[in-house]
Structure 1
């Protein structure tokens, strides 16, 4: 199955464009974060940077999805990549002025809100239905891996060519992504409405469609939850390494990020190769439950209890979290693809993207404060309990079915 999807030339064009834009955008994000911190030494300023990236998704994501449903997806991908490449070039002139960066970041993020639903809508347009799980597994893996690779590359690239040179590297990546977008086929939107009133009516239609479709609603909530989990863990990672494992915070990447990304890669390969043997709902439920268990255990890996095995168990846990985290994202996205009509696809992705950013934004602001009050380990354990609850809530029909089978054999649960 994986080989079949990699032989699809149109998919390779789309996937390669995603790799270039995601990796370079994450590299730029990390570079700008460093610049703002170096210039201001202020956590509030860095928070404003995060807000500049996040707010457009919350307020404009759904509207962008409605408009994408009316446009040619290929043209939307070309336009968004080209516009962002030109905007990125402007950073060269304002890198030394941190607060001048924020409006430009906001505009780039605004354009990205049109790119996200266009890219999501393009996948079913270039991939056969029976290959969607494989395609989504690769895209989900790329999103997570590109975040780490972008952050890792940022430092060496800046040392090699300087901050302005790094911006030019990102600019070139977006130009290449623009060219790759010209190679995919035209995928016309199915919605033909016009006018502001129609836009909000179509947005309401998408929200209503998600809410009334139980499986679609569960998939959207699963994608939102797993992204909130990723953001929370990334915010608590340095504190966990320092306070729970009692290790140098500089080792956070080695202990948390590297094994987590490796797990995501392995999980993507497993899903691409064997995923069609299981239902998407089962994979999502399994991902939630195992991830919740791992997080609860993860919080107790302290050296005074386990000695040198504490970091070893933390590394193994992060690897397992990566594997089963991918069991949530890719199958849930596949459910969205399968159950969303073509004329609603862009709107649905716009709404889900808004949910992801809106919910993920909250842990960034509150996780650190809660960890300072209750301890990093306790907060991580609490989040694990939440994931366990969500997993069992989703999987209760399996438990009910099992209870009937066991009960029919004369056993009591």
Structure 2
């Protein structure tokens, strides 16, 4: 192993001693996915993650499904209020798909705002409260919250030309996202309590692969599953079968998480205020360069990925056999690459130092972006390069997340992971707006080269020529 173990901080040694469930795990000599799945507590946490992340994706699909079914007519003449809104933001809504997109944008905004505003504050409370209780409560409350969705279809008054039910869905989405902000940092902070340090890289690799799989499965199969449930219940003479999917998934996540046995060090808050704890969380970045570098790499990575969501449309448009609407194929190949990179990292990543993995991933992303700019229009090469880009993304994300878990003191993990959620959601939002504008102004290739230069600079800042 080459992890620069010498001079391990005293707080980390004490933290490892306090994490009874992890420290007492037998046979940590074995590495990789099989070893980490054998950990009972982590396995239950992983199952909770699967159901929770699937529910998050199904939630977005259900909202778009309801918008399409109940609030968007196929008659363009009926979209008067929407036309006013679209004109204000310079958006064309001539087709039904464009009108659905406009209303779905409101759902996306309601889902994103809490992540930007509340992430670190929620992380403070995740530090104060028992992690298992936070995870169980947040999933159970989301299961109850989504049960109100059918009531939003009840006819009622109009506000700004739209049914009250649509605005109620926006409010429900906002509070669903608020609860997610409590779950996410508690979940990340629980991993080091359940997994020995030797297996953290494998655990995060499995989480990364699962997250990508949940994204692909959730968005690809969400609508067919909803229609299947709706049709099955209609055959029984019942309506609303599609509304059972979300409470079922969130409920299973809560049940799985409630069975975890987790040993946490007692937390004394004393008279320390929330803002003071937020400041202490920020101080972790100042005092610990490894945490700061890991956070920087994660923010940069998600900025690059968000930009690629937009650029994929132009890339697909340059391929005659694909076309702009085939951009999903490019994103799917990137997801496949991330899953492959996660499995490889889990199996062999423990033999390589964290910053070497990160630098390799950033260099891989740089290569993929440069070649994508140079070789536009070639289907197979573009698909291969998107896969390579995904592999590089996994090599950056997994070591960085593992470093955050290893080098952040246990009592401050929640607020640091809350800050991570803040920064990543900002990093996801800004490129979505800027990338399309830049492509319109200067073209696709210069934008890809600009992103490649950013990745290359980050790779150099990792100082891969140093052993530690």
TM-score (normalised: structure 1): 0.89
**Counterpart in the other structure of 2:278:** 203
Higher helix content, 1 or 2: 1
Check if 1:218 corresponds to 2:293: yes
Check if 1:148 corresponds to 2:216: yes
**Counterpart in the other structure of 2:128:** 70
Gaps of 5+ in 1: 304-309, 402-413
User: Which residues of 2 match residues 40-79 of structure 1 at below 5 A?
Assistant: 41=99, 44-79=102-137
Deviates more, 1:260-269 or 1:374-383: 374-383
**Counterpart in the other structure of 2:91:** none
**Counterpart in the other structure of 1:124:** 192
Q: In the TM superposition, what is the alpha-carbon distance from 1:244 to its structure 2 partner?
A: 5.4
**Counterpart in the other structure of 1:408:** none
For 1:291-330, what per-residue CA distance to the aligned partner results, in whole angstroms no more than 9, with x for missing partners?
0120121123333xxxxxx110011111111111100111
Name the CA shift for 1:337/1:190 in 2 (closer, same or farther; >3 Å). Answer: farther
**Counterpart in the other structure of 1:177:** 253
**Counterpart in the other structure of 1:405:** none
**Counterpart in the other structure of 2:45:** 14
Check if 1:398 corresponds to 2:429: no
**Counterpart in the other structure of 1:186:** 262
**Counterpart in the other structure of 1:87:** 145
TM-score (normalised: structure 2): 0.79
User: Which residues of 2 match residues 1-400 of structure 1 at below 5 A?
Assistant: 1=31, 2-33=33-64, 35-36=66-67, 39=72, 41=99, 44-94=102-152, 97-162=165-230, 164-188=240-264, 190-193=266-269, 198-243=273-318, 247-254=322-329, 256-303=330-377, 310-395=378-463, 398=465
**Counterpart in the other structure of 1:406:** none
Rg: which structure is higher? 2
User: What secondary structure, in the 3-state scheme, does the structure 2 residue paired with 1:69 have?
Assistant: helix
| Root-mean-square deviation over aligned CA pairs | 2.2
User: What secondary structure, in the 3-state scheme, does the structure 2 residue paired with 1:145 have?
Assistant: helix
CA separation in 2, counterparts of 1:94 and 1:314? 43
CA separation in 2, counterparts of 1:366 and 1:59? 21
Q: In the TM superposition, what is the alpha-carbon distance from 1:180 to its structure 2 partner?
A: 0.1
The size of the alignment, in residue pairs, is 391
Q: In the TM superposition, what is the alpha-carbon distance from 1:189 to its structure 2 partner?
A: 6.0
Deviates more, 1:90-99 or 1:258-267: 90-99
Name the CA shift for 1:324/1:302 in 2 (closer, same or farther; >3 Å). Answer: closer
CA separation in 2, counterparts of 1:239 and 1:166? 35
Contact conserved, 1:52 with 1:102, CA < 8 A, in 2?
yes
Contact conserved, 2:65 with 2:223, CA < 8 A, in 1?
no
